[in-house]
């Protein structure tokens, strides 16, 4: 088996801002596995918030190349690679390769339900209240909007967005930007405009206030949630968990995490880092298990790779086999 590693940059349509900062492009790492007759592909986004960088992930893959090329199973990956983003790219490439070798889709090989078209959230980048209100008006035909919040003025942002997108369902991502002091006020402001779910309102590791605060809005773990080992500490604080393959280390552990979360009564959100359709494709297989889907990464780029997942507005189609899976 031959391993190929590549770094790619994909410009964002404009800029993308969350409470931690802004960016104008995404930097991804791709993995290709070839056995001489079939090729499998995977993509990951190393995320500095989790102390992972593109050079680090590339170096880890290169250092493990001989072991990978000698033959690696899904169960071996965690012992071969430390960065979770690197594990993700390799795990997804291996699934893609196995599917092509078997002539069967990944969802069948993984024992998952057949994926159907699904509505994804569409993200409004953090900006001034006025600018986010204008963005909401432009996106008001979309059924589900995700609002990046986490700075002063969030209550005003919520009011303007709701006014300009009266028919859209709303979810919020505070990206650890609120505090225990303003949490009750912000959750109440969300409830007032009909927000259905709030992601990671408090910093990971400083979210104990969630155990005792009453709320009318579902609170979802994101930065606090990684793999199975993080699940126990979420119980009693969060109502749902955002599963991202770059955090879990691939589709294989993401499936295990989704099933374990469901068994413990947690809702499931399937999310993504900002990336191309190649990164969305394996995550899309989790959508039959999910209550909320947030896989709009390609919609926020200037252009996607070819072939790509088709989006009919916010209705996301299953990935084409010539892309992945």
Partners of 27 in the β-ladder: 9
Residue range(s) in the chain whose domain bears CATH number 3.30.390.10: 2-105
Q: What is the mean pLDDT of residues 292-305?
A: 98
Q: Are 1 and 29 in contact (CB under 8 A)?
A: no
N-terminal to C-terminal alpha carbon distance within the chain: 18
CATH number of 118-316: 3.20.20.120
Model confidence pLDDT, tens digit, residues 122-131: 999 999 999 9
φ/ψ (deg, to 5) at 36: 100, -25
pLDDT band of residue 20 (cuts 50, 70, 90) is confident
Indicate the pTM of the whole model.
0.96
Q: What is the mean pLDDT of residues 173-194?
A: 97
Taking domain 2-105, whether its CATH number is 3.40.366.10 is answered by no
Residue range(s) in the chain whose domain bears CATH number 3.20.20.120: 118-316
Model confidence pLDDT, tens digit, residues 89-100: 999 999 999 999
Q: Which of 24, 27, 3 is nearest to 14 (CA)?
A: 24
List residues with catalytic annotation. 148, 244
CA dihedral 296, 184, 126, 293 (to 10 degrees): 0
Give Cα 97 to chain centroid, integer Å. 23
Rg for the chain, CA atoms, rounded = 19
Model confidence pLDDT, tens digit, residues 48-92: 999 999 999 999 999 999 999 999 999 999 999 999 999 999 999
Is 45 a residue whose pLDDT tops 90? yes
d(CA 267, CA 279): 22
């Amino acid at each position: 088996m031959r391993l190929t590693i590549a770094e790619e940059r994909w410009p964002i349509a404009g800029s993308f801002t969350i409470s931690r900062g802004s960016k104008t492009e995404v930097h991804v790492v791709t993995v290709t596995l070839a056995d001489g007759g079939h090729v499998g592909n995977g993509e990951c986004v190393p995320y500095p918030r989790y102390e992972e960088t593109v050079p680090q992930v590339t170096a880890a893959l290169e250092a493990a190349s001989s072991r990978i090329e000698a033959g690696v199973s899904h169960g071996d990956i965690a012992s071969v690679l430390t960065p979770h983003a690197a594990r993700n790219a390799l795990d997804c490439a291996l699934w893609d390769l196995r599917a092509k070798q078997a002539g069967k889709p990944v969802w069948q090989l993984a024992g998952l339900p057949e994926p159907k078209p699904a509505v994804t959230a569409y993200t409004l980048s953090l900006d001034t209240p006025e600018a986010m209100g204008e963005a909401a008006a432009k996106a008001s035909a979309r059924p589900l909007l995700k609002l990046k919040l986490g700075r002063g003025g969030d209550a005003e942002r919520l009011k303007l967005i709701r006014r300009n997108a009266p028919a859209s369902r709303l979810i919020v991502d505070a990206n650890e930007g609120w505090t225990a002091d303003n949490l009750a006020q912000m959750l109440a402001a969300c409830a007032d405009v009909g927000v259905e779910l709030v992601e990671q309102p408090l910093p990971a590791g400083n979210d104990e206030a969630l155990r005792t605060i009453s709320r009318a809005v579902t609170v979802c773990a994101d930065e606090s949630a990684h793999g199975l080992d993080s699940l126990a500490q979420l119980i009693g604080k969060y109502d749902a968990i955002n599963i991202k393959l770059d955090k879990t280390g691939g589709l294989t552990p993401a499936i295990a995490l989704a099933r374990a979360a469901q068994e413990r009564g947690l809702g499931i959100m399937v999310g993504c880092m900002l990336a191309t359709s190649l990164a969305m494709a394996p995550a899309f297989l989790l959508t039959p298990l999910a209550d909320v889907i947030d896989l709009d990464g390609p919609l926020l780029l200037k252009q996607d790779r070819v072939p790509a997942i088709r989006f009919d507005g916010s209705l996301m189609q299953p990935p084409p086999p010539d892309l992945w899976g």
